[in-house]
Chains A and B, each alone.
Chain A
Amino acid sequence: MSRIQTRKELEQKEVLLRAEGISKGFPGVWEHLILDEIDFDVRAGEVHTLLGENGAGKTVLANILSGFYSSTGGKIIINGEEVKLQSPQDGLEHGVGMIHQEVMLAKPYTVAENVALGTDDSDLSNPVSRVEREITELSKEYGLDVDPTAKVEDLSAGGQQRAEILKVLYHRPQVLILDEPTSLLTPLEAEQLFKVLRGMADDGFGVVFITHKMDEVMEVSDRVTVLKLGKTMGEKMITETDEEELTEMMLDEKIPIHLERKEFEDREVALSLENVHVTGPRGNVQVNGVSLDIKEGEILGIAGVSGNGQSEIIEAITGLRDIDEGSLIVQGEEVTDVPPRKIQDKGLAHMPEKRREIGVVEEMPVGENMVLRNYRHPPFSHYKVLDKEAITEHSERIIEEFNVICPDIWKSETRILSGGNIQRMILGRESWEQPPIIIASHPTHGLDRRAVSNTWELFMDLRDAGSAILLVSEDLDEVLSLSDRIAVMLDGEIVGVVDADSADKNEIGMMMTGA
């Protein structure tokens, strides 16, 4: 793997795509432009990373470069000629292909059928056979292991992404843009992807890689451009910069994550599970006899490899799933098998894992989503009539305090908010007014560093003020830093509970995998 070491070396490479003064905005609605006169270029043989926090405009820029969105200003020059890209097809014809963060494939169809969908050169008699042959060749050439006859829905997240890359490669692009491609991958799959990307750069492709993770930047790129709130903060050769400098450019201020916690005092048990069993739809045991006590002013972290019953236990506690055996006790009262509303009304807040899916109603305005779980209580409604003023006021306070970027409380559908904004919105909504019990599932997944540190501080404050918090996270560092006690889950059972003070990361890791 040969990285480009110096700027001189870079300047010898051919410019494949140049963007000059790209702007995107909705004047009068947003307080700042989504993109403000961005200059950006990609040269043959390099991996050029776009780095920035959530909402910095990385994805919007990528969509403009590949023809998905139009820009409000600026121009795009490909191979020395100014072009106006009207559509993704147009982008591909000009040699620019984009791989989106969320897979854009028709799931019930095979990989080859998906690729054939975007082309018009398939044979009438046996349309996909030629495509299949070509995919097999391409996948060999670039080390992208995908079976062209497999249905997309049967592939792993990594496999789906490889299929998506092949779909773009089929059009023989010069420039390949990947939007946060590692967010759905396991570390091993990410490692493989980086190898593929470096290989493609060596073959003369221009690769644009989008991320907000610093270690990935250092691992894969030749050059990095940092975006912040729609503006370019600078462009650096990776050899002439380091993580610290880039972080500083990205965040503009250094944020150390160190947490202070009050001494844990032994208080009342707020939430208690006794021998809880949950069975899945096919009769498979998902939670197998779990007993846990969580006290006021305590954070209990559940560590475990995902899919070992963590989601199910949370659904059981919040009433979204039936408990087959055992009992659930909230603040001294048995609430096994009561409707979710009853449990919720006992002061149980829930930050769900599936934020966009169930945490908000995407097609409803931000204001209504701010009271999704407490619309039925005063001051948000009186005698069953909603109080719009009170809801507006409440929304404004959450937006202010949690830095939610939202153009308008009532006119914006929640769907237009970025993932990080939706998460901050849910954090604000669910932690408002100090709920006695908080169930948090992957609360910082996908957030940037500043938001992570804010969230951790929020959890500490809630704990210190007496909330009982159940934290499920795949991020072991998060569980270790926040928890008072850590329960390790494996195959639907709690295989051990350790005090955070005496916890050892390796030991917990071994327990998680059953080693």
Chain B
Amino acid sequence: MITQIYAKLKPVINSVLAGLVGLAGGAIIMALWGYPPIAAYNALFSAVAGSMYGFGSTLAQATPLILTGLTFAIGVRGGLFNIGAEGQMFMGAIAAVAVSTVAMPVGIHIVVSILAGMLAGALWSMPASALKISRGIHEVISTIMLNWIALYLGMYLVVDWLGDPQRAEKSISAASTARLPGMLSGTSLTFALIAAVIFALLIYFVVWKTTLGFEIRVVGKNPGAANYAGINENFSINSTFILGGMAAGLAGALQIIGHPPTFAIYADFSTVRNLGFDGIGVALIGRNHPIGVIFAAIFFAGLNVGARTMQITAGVPLEMVRVIQGVIIIALAAPELMNLWSRLTPGLKNWISEVKGS
């Protein structure tokens, strides 16, 4: 009985232990450079859990990370190293702004914005999928390139098409009819969080409870067995990309319609930039499981929110805070990273040797 409970809790215990190791590592680094570790961590925790404002900010920052984390997590489940969440998220954000140029009633406008964001994200993942299926091009290469294309295309669109006529540095803001209501007054937390959590649960259902998810997982673990089982590998790859793209696109859309006070994209994309890449870390910490990803995103956001307080209260420079964050994240992500490395490198190596050969 005890062993069974232990087996169930093992991933959770591992994660908690890894987190403690990370915190200890961060403390050692701080001590070495002469900063007070206890005061710093105290500042971190009180920033996150000490006030409603900090707590609300943490959850607000966690919202897009849940979704971009899902993009990477579902990719891994389907055997892909999809690091295209960044670009797909940009496209989702742009789509949400674009929808705001049209007038619509309150509820419908929100739904249309969300759907447009998911559609844009999914569409932006399709070139990578098509290149992989038709030409065997590894998704790491194609998604990185698509991320850059999305960024510069996005900048063009924001400045030249969706630009705010009065303020050159940003796009127009989401229409008031498209904005999600706030959840906690005085903070930037909106109902976007609920949308993200619902989407995570939906992904959990699709991946573990449906035949589509079964196919995705079989292809991800063993393409040979998938073929034997009569599973269409290409369809499965497409589905994995589309689901991941929808998650990233939704992240982008929610950053527009659920992100006060501006509800807009800046021309330098500063409010959305790197959320896609952070999603990779979030997915690794959350062991590529939708429920794990939710908690990992909150943890990740907590570190970000606490960073400023650590600087102000404990006098730890922001750069040092980033180093400590890195240590903690590496400690947490290490177990999953090892799994991933051994699983995905042979594919990449084969691909490289094929390219060299041809």
If A341-B231, A364-B217, A364-B218 touch, whether A372 touches B225 (CB-CB below 8 Å) is: yes
Number of A-B contacts (CB under 8 A): 75
Confirm or deny: A339 has a beta carbon within 8 angstroms of a beta carbon on chain B.
yes
Confirm or deny: A384 has a beta carbon within 8 angstroms of a beta carbon on chain B.
yes
| Complex CA–CA separation, A342 to B244 (angstroms) | 29
Size of chain A's interface in residues, with CB distance under 8 A? 35
Q: Return the chain B residue nearest A386 by Cβ.
A: B209
CB distance from A379 to the nearest CB of B (A): 13
Residue-wise, chain B 1-43 has the 8 Å CB interface mask toward A (1 for contact) of 1011001000000000000000000000000000000000000
A-chain residues with CB within 8 Å of residue B4 when the two chains form the complex: 28-29, 411
Confirm or deny: A456 has a beta carbon within 8 angstroms of a beta carbon on chain B.
no
| Complex CA–CA separation, A292 to B232 (angstroms) | 28
Q: Is chain A's interface secondary structure helix, strand, loop, or mixed overall? A: loop
By the criterion CB–CB under 8 Å, are B230 and A339 in contact? Answer: yes
CB distance from A351 to the nearest CB of B (A): 11
Confirm or deny: B334 has a beta carbon within 8 angstroms of a beta carbon on chain A.
no
B-chain residues with CB within 8 Å of residue A78 when the two chains form the complex: none
CB distance from A93 to the nearest CB of B (A): 27
If A384-B211, A386-B209 touch, whether A345 touches B218 (CB-CB below 8 Å) is: no
B-chain residues with CB within 8 Å of residue A28 when the two chains form the complex: 1, 3-4
By the criterion CB–CB under 8 Å, are B222 and A26 in contact? Answer: no
A361 touches which of B210, B211, B221, B232 (Cβ 8 Å): B221
If A358-B228, A364-B221 touch, whether A385 touches B3 (CB-CB below 8 Å) is: no
List residues 329-376 of chain A with CB under 8 A from any CB of chain B. 339-341, 343-345, 350, 352, 354, 357-364, 368, 372-373, 375-376
Binding site for B on A (CB under 8 A): 26-29, 318-320, 339-341, 343-345, 350, 352, 354, 357-364, 368, 372-373, 375-376, 381, 384-386, 388, 411
If A364-B217, A375-B211 touch, whether A341 touches B230 (CB-CB below 8 Å) is: yes
| Complex CA–CA separation, A26 to B218 (angstroms) | 28
B-chain residues with CB within 8 Å of residue A357 when the two chains form the complex: 222, 224-225
By the criterion CB–CB under 8 Å, are A386 and B211 in contact? Answer: yes
CB distance from A410 to the nearest CB of B (A): 11
B-chain residues with CB within 8 Å of residue A411 when the two chains form the complex: 4, 7
Confirm or deny: B185 has a beta carbon within 8 angstroms of a beta carbon on chain A.
no
Confirm or deny: B295 has a beta carbon within 8 angstroms of a beta carbon on chain A.
no
The list of the 8 closest CB pairs from A to B, nearest first, reads A341-B230, A358-B224, A358-B228, A344-B230, A361-B222, A340-B230, A358-B225, A372-B229
If A340-B230, A352-B228, A361-B225 touch, whether A384 touches B3 (CB-CB below 8 Å) is: no
List residues 201-245 of chain B with CB under 8 A from any CB of chain A. 209-212, 214, 217-218, 221-222, 224-225, 227-232
Binding site for A on B (CB under 8 A): 1, 3-4, 7, 209-212, 214, 217-218, 221-222, 224-225, 227-232
CB distance from A169 to the nearest CB of B (A): 30
| Complex CA–CA separation, A363 to B76 (angstroms) | 14
B-chain residues with CB within 8 Å of residue A368 when the two chains form the complex: 214
A-chain residues with CB within 8 Å of residue B212 when the two chains form the complex: 384
| Complex CA–CA separation, A344 to B226 (angstroms) | 13
By the criterion CB–CB under 8 Å, are B210 and A386 in contact? Answer: yes
B-chain residues with CB within 8 Å of residue A352 when the two chains form the complex: 228
- What are 22 residue pairs bridging A and B, where the CB atoms are less than 8 Å apart in the complex? A27-B3, A28-B3, A28-B4, A320-B228, A339-B232, A345-B230, A354-B224, A357-B224, A357-B225, A358-B222, A358-B224, A358-B228, A359-B225, A361-B217, A368-B214, A373-B229, A375-B211, A375-B214, A381-B211, A385-B211, A388-B209, A411-B4
| Complex CA–CA separation, A411 to B6 (angstroms) | 13
B-chain residues with CB within 8 Å of residue A361 when the two chains form the complex: 217-218, 221-222, 225
If A362-B222, A364-B217, A364-B218 touch, whether A385 touches B228 (CB-CB below 8 Å) is: no
By the criterion CB–CB under 8 Å, are A340 and B227 in contact? Answer: yes
By the criterion CB–CB under 8 Å, are B218 and A341 in contact? Answer: no
CB distance from A29 to the nearest CB of B (A): 7
